[in-house]
A and B are shown apart, each in its own frame.
Chain A
Amino acid sequence: MSTSAKYSGKTYTFNHGVHPEEFKELSSHCEIQRMPFVEEYILPLGQHIGAPSDCLVSKGQKVRRGEKIADPIGFVSVALHSPVDGTISEVGIFPTPNGQVLPGIKIKIDPYSTQRMDEAPIDLEDLDRKGFISTVQNAGIVGLGGAAFPAHVKFAIPEDKTCKYIMLNGCECEPFLTADHRTMLEYPEEIIDGIQILNRYLKADKAYIGIEANKPDAIEALKKIATTSTFPIEVIALQVKYPQGAEKMMITAILGEEVPTGKLPLDLGVLVGNVGTIKAISDYFRKGIPLMERIVTITGTAIKNPANVLVPIGTPMKDVIELCGGITDDAARILLGGPMMGAVQKSLDVPVVKGTSGLLALTSNEVRDLDEYSCIRCGKCVDACPIFLNPSMMGLLAKKGLWDEMLEYNIMDCFECASCSFVCPSGIPLVQSFRVAKGFLREKAVREKASA
């Protein structure tokens, strides 16, 4: 809190939340390095939320780096681009990080290619709002914070709503991860430029960049560039607390307003984007680089040389880990994303996808395998939940399989930040059961819709 006060004089924060240990020092000092090209790339067609893309290529076809290989189907869908010069070696099904085997494209690299791409800036002058949105869609840009929600869908603001504030999320509240931190430190011009491009079409009043106070160097770097902008951009240091980086929490911290149940940030006139997403927009409009590579933090105590790497999308995990010296012998668990919300992986044959923000390897003595005891009603989870739900009660209901009753406790508002499981002294798998409940309820809604 003291660091926060030093930068702003006011503490920007939200109520509840937890304070996990940060472990950012493992990789926060590592400059972003480029991942060398590997032999094969696997690109699943459904890397984003929404309809999977439509494959445009066939086996044996030659593709250029940055060439579009899949078209969006419908509005909530984005295009996909080849990260390398090469040949399509297979169009089939491949394992993906979520454990399913889904349709995708395998590309074999052309070993003699220089992999050079000519800069092809896009003229913003003759691009109207509609054109801008479809350009973003065809650039394959999705939210790089982790959910991979197509960015252009957010930018297409309905007639009856206005965007007052553009809010950039540079919190990176997950322990271990430093990809956004390094992006802000090394590409502040691109981020500010991205906001200006976006504002041409959104016509907002003001932009905020929210950064947790544990990244003073990134705050300084962005503040320096922000002063050169004619459009008002305020860089705000937020209290170091998990989950500060959840968009609803950040809005509460900066504006002091709460996004109501079932509503979107846009209902408050706010558009939230990750700093990486905004950089991707600048990259496409200024240099013509579509979203075909992203910055990934490879870290954890079980990784020999933690690093921040610019990885072409589709690179198999095992190659990325190899670049970082491999994993130590006592590695016990590998996660995609941070330790709080990340997804455990069973195989390293899966590729880096658009939503991969980090790759974390933990040693066996860091992995908690708690025995589960009864709920002692201490209320710690209630104090931790950032959206004021009652995890204790929902946990009891989940145990009995009373999914429908959980709806009354607003289970669908839970965004699975895992704060409740983190604080539970009885080791009750709270967030895990909520994830199951939400999945079941969603399935049920689909079934009921189908039968109705």
Chain B
Amino acid sequence: MEGDILIPLAILGGLGLLFGIILSIAYKKFKVYEDPRIGAVEDLLPNSNCGACGEPGCRAFAEQVVNFEMNPAKCTVSSETGIIKIADYLGVEANKEEKRVARLLCAGGIKEAHNLASYKGGMSTCRGEAVVTGGSKDCSWGCLGLGDCETICDFDAISMNKDALPVVDTEKCTACNDCVEVCPKGLFVIMPIGQKLIVQCKSLLEGDLAESKCSVACTGCSRCAADAAPGVIEIVDNLAVINYDLRDLTSPAAIKRCPTDAIIWLEGDNQFEDQKPTDLPLGRVEEAIDREVYYQ
């Protein structure tokens, strides 16, 4: 009777031994050599899998780096020291890539651009508002201010300010493109941080009509195009469009005569004043709703 327990033990032990042998043979026979540096480089990367480098993830990027097909500096999320570490490990020169950040092509917050109606849909997201007659703002192109970009940002780089405009913290921004894709109005663009001349408007309306909808709208007056170096600014459909290839020729002279401040020369790194809504006195939201008018 006592011996019965030995039978299953022997069977299971035997099976274990058999599988162990098969596995060890398979390990020897089907071994795939993998460059150990890939794993090491991957460990040095931030592992956020953001896709800003253009690769599907950090591991794929690490493979490219190890094969010397890409420079470690292409990872915009890593800190400078992190990139140098990778470069040193592989014995390559770390390129100096200019940091790229997301910029908003709209400056019409609740102070500048007025609403025609109030949005009371159940979804308090920009995309939800945009499907209802394009949003409540009179301007059809402007920022809706409900912060879809703030929600989607994995790096906590976007915060909505007092004027209901997203402030991109250029320190934290990794140019991962998430905000560009989520914005229903397509207002974000990724550009080099050194690009100081920006037209903060997408309105295609002309003159007074554009200004009646938003006080910082581009009216298409073409003053900036006349003041800037030839070819830098072109007026297309009543909107000033900057040719970013001619960045070296841009200068603050272009913005001097802008009647609405739609075109700006960035002083600091960030586009708008960073003032969190929590810093505001209570009642601001109610105040904003008061100003809104139903169907005029």
Q: Chain A interface (Cβ within 8 Å of chain B)?
A: 93, 95, 97-101, 331-334, 343-348, 369-370, 372, 401, 427-429, 432-433, 435-436, 439-440, 443-444, 447
Contact = CB atoms under 8 A, between A and B. Distances in A.
Interface in B114-139: 116-117, 120-123, 125, 127-128, 130-136, 138
Given A100-B140, A432-B132, 5 more contacts: A331-B294, A344-B133, A346-B133, A372-B122, A439-B131
A429 B122 contact: yes
Contacts of A100: 134, 140
B206 to A, nearest CB: 8
Interface of B: 116-117, 120-123, 125, 127-128, 130-136, 138, 140-141, 152, 181, 184, 204-205, 294-296
User: Chain B interface mostly helix, strand, loop or mixed?
Assistant: loop
B181 A447 contact: yes
A429 B133 contact: no
Contact of A440 (B122, B127, B296): B127
8 contacts: A93-B204, A98-B133, A98-B134, A99-B133, A344-B132, A346-B116, A347-B116, A432-B128
Given A95-B140, A334-B295, A347-B295, A428 B131 contact: no
Contact of B127 (A99, A370, A439): A439
Contacts of A429: 121-123, 128
A272 to B, nearest CB: 26
B133 A331 contact: no
Contacts of B120: 369
B126 to A, nearest CB: 10
Contact of B121 (A332, A347, A432): A432
Contacts of A435: 131
A283 to B, nearest CB: 31
A95 B122 CA distance: 25
A101 B140 contact: yes
A332 B294 contact: yes
A344 B294 CA distance: 12
Contacts of B181: 443-444, 447
A433 B140 contact: no
Contacts of A432: 121-123, 128, 131-132
A99 B130 CA distance: 9
B140 A99 contact: yes
A439 B116 CA distance: 24
A304 B258 CA distance: 47
B135 to A, nearest CB: 7
Contacts of A333: 295
Find the residue from B130, B140, B181 having the highest chain A CB count within 10 A. B140
B135 A436 contact: no
B237 to A, nearest CB: 8
A436 B122 contact: no
A95 B209 CA distance: 12
Nearest to B126: A436
A439 to B, nearest CB: 6
Given A98-B134, A100-B140, A101-B205, A433 B128 contact: yes
Contacts of A401: 152
Contact of A101 (B116, B131, B204, B294): B204
B166 to A, nearest CB: 17
Nearest to B238: A93
A436 B123 contact: yes
Contacts of A98: 133-134
Contacts of B116: 346-347
Contacts of B152: 401
A348 B134 CA distance: 14
B204 A370 contact: no
Given A95-B140, A429-B122, A440-B127, A343 B295 contact: no
A321 to B, nearest CB: 10
B210 to A, nearest CB: 11
Contacts of A439: 127, 131, 184
A447 B178 CA distance: 13
B209 to A, nearest CB: 10
B73 to A, nearest CB: 23
A345 B296 CA distance: 11
Contacts of B296: 347
A369 to B, nearest CB: 5
A372 B128 CA distance: 15
A327 to B, nearest CB: 8
Given A332-B294, A433-B128, A345 B123 contact: no
Contacts of A427: 122
Contacts of B131: 432, 435-436, 439
A288 B135 CA distance: 40
Contacts of A95: 140
